DNA sequence: ATCACAATCTGAAACGTTTCAGACGCCTGG
DNA sequence: CCAGGCGTCTGAAACGTTTCAGATTGTGAT
């Protein structure tokens, strides 16, 4: 079934079956003993080459090679030094979801890229709440700091993170005295989008919302649910929409996941139930993409019969000619990384609020007639 | 610029400014001393509740709360216990690239999901080779095992990983005696795709390849480059293509990154330079997507003037009606996770080779005329 | 009353480093 | 000839746990 085993790679130093013990790891102390030098000196050979003669250093490194010593144990080193070189990224949803969202992927990629420069790495701490209701992973993670990407306000996760009292950066969240906040002007972007529709003459507007609160519930939204504190991003965008549409009638539906299929389904339901809707405000481009499918499926031509606006301005949205709200996703990642580096250096870092901008493309137009259809 | 700071969240236990020292962390030993019990007992209160009376345990936990003791330090615990609960994922390219590839994202999401069940987390160890030529991150990562996702055969990274002698799973790579290999039948899938084209009557076929080797180089491929060992996946797919097309003329071009824009550009170049080409074999759906754009841009109708086949069968490809080679990306992630769990449990895990399957959709058809156009 | 046994708690040895405060020679400048 | 300084190297104290092998009780069975 498998391809035959090829000859071993040029690979890694020979299995050191010469001197080294079979199973046990060689320790720094043993190496020192073998050589008849102090452990401090061996440690210095690795960490402070200027503290010993080049000659002795070579001898030590040589013997290490010989005995199969891999270099100082990272864990022990971290314990002693008091830092791990790892930043925890906490994410509220299952990781497969995180990776599936292009905006999240882009953002995380940039964060990783930034902190990588400083020799740090990212530890993914997703916590599908049901699996670890006590936020165990957050409590027991060996990290130097946390980046909280997408946790609801009341989340156990958020509480557990703050309890650790480590350098913490909150992304797209309410700002908090014990952490740095980096976000975008969600409400302003949403307002701009909604205003654009209002100016075009739309009066019956559907809103395809992201999750309002952690308990999954799709479909029409009750006022109680809208009022309850949940995801900051969703709440702000919704606020932005509403504030710019004092005159319009708003039809609000909630999706359970930020994926095209959800957007399609919810948008279709909404449009079927309220045929008077002439425009859709979607809280993400991913949802908007689904909404476009829904329109097609219902035989509505965009933008003639139906206007659609997204949020995020994903790279792929330009090709779709989607009118949307741009946000500096990549820069947000950079800023988060920078903020973390500052915190780790002991410096203060200010909260950051990045701008958003409406990008008008081809999916918006005046409603079909002056009166609702 | 920022929204005003809202009142603090319901949040985390009060800053414990009562008893606890200001800056310093409270240690287990201190807590024990305060209570007049031994450190062993405090440790047991956290790790083995059955080893002490419920009453004393409550007293300890209460005092911990009081003094602001966060629970056993994860680092010290890991050192003592000999395991960290972290699996390193090593990726050959910058992370923003990793996240940007939908197939990679899906795969990683599933890996994460699987190992999460066992209380493990993923540490992202991307290593743009130029930044850490010595694979420092791999050498100094505190992990219990490695998953190598996308490293070239001769990669320093791969060598460094194997040197650590930790449980290791190689993905889409040549199998190696010191590690478990999980992959797909790349060549078979590629053959099937190529055979499909041959049977349709295509004789001049363009191949839009993924990277052949780590040194980025786009465009036409020299035989030397094709011969040099590089990425297993690319090599296998290419082998599959060639083996099924003994009669056809193959025009090979290489992309520098697995993104649509690259696919578009390279495909357009190829088609302009060799107008006799009637079909394109793309090594990923992402590239195929770009190729479709290129065709449109050149005024070629698909599949009438040009056939296009992808690889991966991304979720989005069905909507594009793209003929492609399906691979069990999600299952691959599961298998990798499982293999790792087995290795960590001390059990052996066999190499795994998953099947691929050609999915014929609407982007393939016979070439325009019997003779090349 | 005695013995074995469970329940509860403790002392001390790891785990594998880093780093601080010297110690020891040797050289240089005065 | 001495003070001071530099270049090398070392001893020992952390770092904050877990865990093994008991010690000390109380309890029920014999």
Among residues 268-307 of chain B, which lie with CB inside 8 Å of chain A?
293
Query: Does the pLDDT of residue B371 top 50, yes or no?
Result: no
| Cβ contact, residue pair B113, A97, below 8 Å | no
Residue with CA nearest C1' of nucleotide D15: A80
| Pair of tokens at residue B293 | 């754009």
List % helix, strand, coil for chain A (3-state, nearest 5): 40, 15, 45
Comparing A130 with B53, the larger pLDDT belongs to B53
Identity of the residue in B70, B109, B137 whose CB atom sits nearest the CB atom of A164: B70
| Pair of tokens at residue A85 | 């070189």
Closest CA to B310 of B331, B279, B332, B289: B289
- Separation between the CA of A338 and the C1’ of C24 (whole angstroms): 47
Residue B90 forms contact with A (CB below 8 Å): no
Q: What is the pLDDT of residue A22?
A: 43
Query: Does the pLDDT of residue B82 top 80, yes or no?
Result: yes
pLDDT band at B128; cut points 50, 70, 90: low
Asked whether residue B75's C-beta has any atom of DNA/RNA strand C within 7 A, the reply is no
Residue A267 backbone dihedrals phi, psi, to 5 degrees = -65, -45
Instruction: Say which CATH superfamily domain B84-184+329-354 falls into.
Output: Response regulator (3.40.50.2300)
- Separation between the CA of A53 and the C1’ of C28 (whole angstroms): 21
Mapped onto helix, strand or coil, the DSSP state of residue A91 is strand
Distance CA B12, CA A103 (A): 29
Please, which residues have CB within 8 angstroms of residue B301's CB and are 6 or more apart in sequence? B295
- Separation between the CA of A67 and the C1’ of D9 (whole angstroms): 22
Residue B138 forms contact with A (CB below 8 Å): no
Q: In what helix (H) or strand (E) does residue A208 lie, and over which residues does it extend?
A: strand A204-209
Asked whether residue B28's C-beta has any atom of DNA/RNA strand D within 7 A, the reply is yes
- Which nucleotide has its C1' atom closest to residue A80's CA? D15
Residue A281 backbone dihedrals phi, psi, to 5 degrees = -100, 115
Protein-covered nucleotides on strand D (Cβ within 7 A): 7-21
- Separation between the CA of B42 and the C1’ of C9 (whole angstroms): 10
Distance CA B9, CA B371 (A): 73
Identity of the residue in B108, B142, B165 whose CB atom sits nearest the CB atom of A142: B142
Please, which residues have CB within 8 angstroms of residue B285's CB and are 6 or more apart in sequence? B103, B310, B311, B312, B313, B314, B316, B317, B322, B324
Which chain A residue's Cα is nearest to B316? A260
Residue B78 forms contact with A (CB below 8 Å): yes
| Cβ contact, residue pair A175, B2, below 8 Å | yes
Q: What is the pLDDT of residue B370?
A: 52
| Cβ contact, residue pair A3, B353, below 8 Å | yes
| Cβ contact, residue pair B116, A131, below 8 Å | yes
Which chain B residue's Cα is nearest to A96? B109
Ranges in chain A annotated CATH 1.10.260.40: 1-72
Q: What is the pLDDT of residue A362?
A: 97
- Separation between the CA of A31 and the C1’ of D8 (whole angstroms): 19
* Antiparallel, parallel or unpaired: β B323-326 and B357-359: antiparallel
Distance CA A47, CA B234 (A): 40
Query: Does the pLDDT of residue B155 top 60, yes or no?
Result: yes
Distance CA A134, CA A309 (A): 39
| Cβ contact, residue pair A177, B8, below 8 Å | yes
Asked whether residue B79's C-beta has any atom of DNA/RNA strand C within 7 A, the reply is yes
- A142-194: per-residue pLDDT in tens? 999 999 998 887 788 899 999 999 999 999 999 999 999 999 999 999 999 99
Asked whether residue A53's C-beta has any atom of DNA/RNA strand D within 7 A, the reply is yes
| Cβ contact, residue pair A124, B124, below 8 Å | yes
Instruction: Say which CATH superfamily domain B186-327+357-371 falls into.
Output: Response regulator (3.40.50.2300)
Closest CA to A190 of A129, A235, A141: A235
Q: Which chain A residues are Cβ-neighbours of B351 within 8 angstroms? A: 2
Residues of chain A with pLDDT under 70: 1-24, 96, 128-130, 370-373
Distance CA B28, CA A179 (A): 26
Which chain A residue's Cα is nearest to B111? A96
- B318-339: per-residue pLDDT in tens? 988 999 999 999 999 999 999 9
Q: Which of residues 69-108 of A touch strand C (CB under 7 A)?
A: 69, 72-73, 75-77, 79-81
Write down the pTM of the prediction: 0.90
The whole-number average pLDDT for the span B348-355 is 97
Name the class of domain A1-72. Answer: mainly alpha
Q: What is the pLDDT of residue A9?
A: 31
Q: Which chain A residues are Cβ-neighbours of B319 within 8 angstroms? A: 293
The whole-number average pLDDT for the span B85-95 is 88
Q: What is the pLDDT of residue B148?
A: 96
Ranges in chain A annotated CATH 3.40.50.2300: 84-184+329-354, 186-327+357-371
CA angle B359, B365, B368 (to 5 degrees): 160
Q: What is the pLDDT of residue B5?
A: 34
Which residues pair with residue A181 across a beta bridge? A170
Residue A97 forms contact with B (CB below 8 Å): yes
The whole-number average pLDDT for the span B199-213 is 96
């Amino acid at each position: 079934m498998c391809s035959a085993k090829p000859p071993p790679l040029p690979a890694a130093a020979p299995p050191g079956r010469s001197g080294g013990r079979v199973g046990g790891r060689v320790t720094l102390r043993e190496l020192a003993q073998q050589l008849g030098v102090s452990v401090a000196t061996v440690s210095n050979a690795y960490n402070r080459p200027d503290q010993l003669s080049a000659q002795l250093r070579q001898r030590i490194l040589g013997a290490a090679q010989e005995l199969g010593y891999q270099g100082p144990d990272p864990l022990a080193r971290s314990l002693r030094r008091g830092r791990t070189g790892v930043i925890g990224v906490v994410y509220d949803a299952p990781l497969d979801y995180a990776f599936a969202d292009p905006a999240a992927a882009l953002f995380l990629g940039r964060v990783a890229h930034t902190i990588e420069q400083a020799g740090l790495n990212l530890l993914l701490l997703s916590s599908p709440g049901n699996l670890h209701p006590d936020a165990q992973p957050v409590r027991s993670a060996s990290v130097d700091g946390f980046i909280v990407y997408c946790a609801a306000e009341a989340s156990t996760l958020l509480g557990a993170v703050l309890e650790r009292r480590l350098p913490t950066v909150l992304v797209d969240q309410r700002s908090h005295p014990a952490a740095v906040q980096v976000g975008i002007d969600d409400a302003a972007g949403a307002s701009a989008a909604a205003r654009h529709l209002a100016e075009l003459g739309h009066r019956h507007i559907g809103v395809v919302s992201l999750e309002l609160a952690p308990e999954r519930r799709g479909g029409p939204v009750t006022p109680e649910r809208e009022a309850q504190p949940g995801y900051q991003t969703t709440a702000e965008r919704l606020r932005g929409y509403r504030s710019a549409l004092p005159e319009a009638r708003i039809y609000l539906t909630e999706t359970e996941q930020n994926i095209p299929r959800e957007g399609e389904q919810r948008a279709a339901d909404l449009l079927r139930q309220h045929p008077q809707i002439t425009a859709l405000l979607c809280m993400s481009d991913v949802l908007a993409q689904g909404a476009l499918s829904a329109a097609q499926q219902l035989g509505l031509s965009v933008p003639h019969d139906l206007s659609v606006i997204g949020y995020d301005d994903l790279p792929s949205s330009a090709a779709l000619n989607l009118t949307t709200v741009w946000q500096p996703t990549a820069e947000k990642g950079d800023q988060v990384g920078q903020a973390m580096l500052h915190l780790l250096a002991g410096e203060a870092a200010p909260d950051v609020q990045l701008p958003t901008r409406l990008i008008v493309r081809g999916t918006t137009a005046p409603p079909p007639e002056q009166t609702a259809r």
